[in-house]
Amino acid sequence: MQIRKGDTVVVISGKDKGKVGTVLRAIPKANKVVVEGVNVQTKHAKATRTSASEIKHIEGPIDASNVMFYEKESKQGVRLGTKIENGKKVRYSKKTNAVVD
């Protein structure tokens, strides 16, 4: 999975297509990511002794194949590749050939 926590991504399919957000959590075993402001779900929390009942809006996971790395310079989604530079594995943009991290 090429996408990591903290990456800025754009959603390329689904009900939130076109939205740009930051990856809050990556779940590699399930090939899913949680993106800020995307796939917002409503959760109802019961009242307890210490807290009142409330309706929470939290982001749900979406499949990693439905997001694309967002490059701020070109303001569009780009595909990522990996290559070895100075003995270290790095990710790079296939469109601009620039190293991402």
CA distance 41 to 87: 43
Give domain status of residue 49, yes or no.
Answer: yes
pTM for the full predicted model: 0.85
CA distances for 14 relative to 11, 38, 50, 93, angstroms: 8, 10, 38, 24
**CATH number of the domain enclosing 44:** 2.30.30.30
Residue 54 lies in a domain: yes
Nearest to 77 by CA among 18, 21, 10: 10
Per-residue pLDDT of the chain (101 residues; tens, 9 = 90+): 899 999 999 999 999 999 999 999 999 999 999 999 999 999 999 999 999 999 999 999 999 999 999 999 889 999 999 999 999 999 999 999 999 87
Asked if residue 17 belongs to a domain, the reply is yes
Q: What is the domain count for the chain? A: 1
79 in a structural domain: no
Q: Is 80 a domain residue? A: no
Domain of residue 38, residue span: 8-73
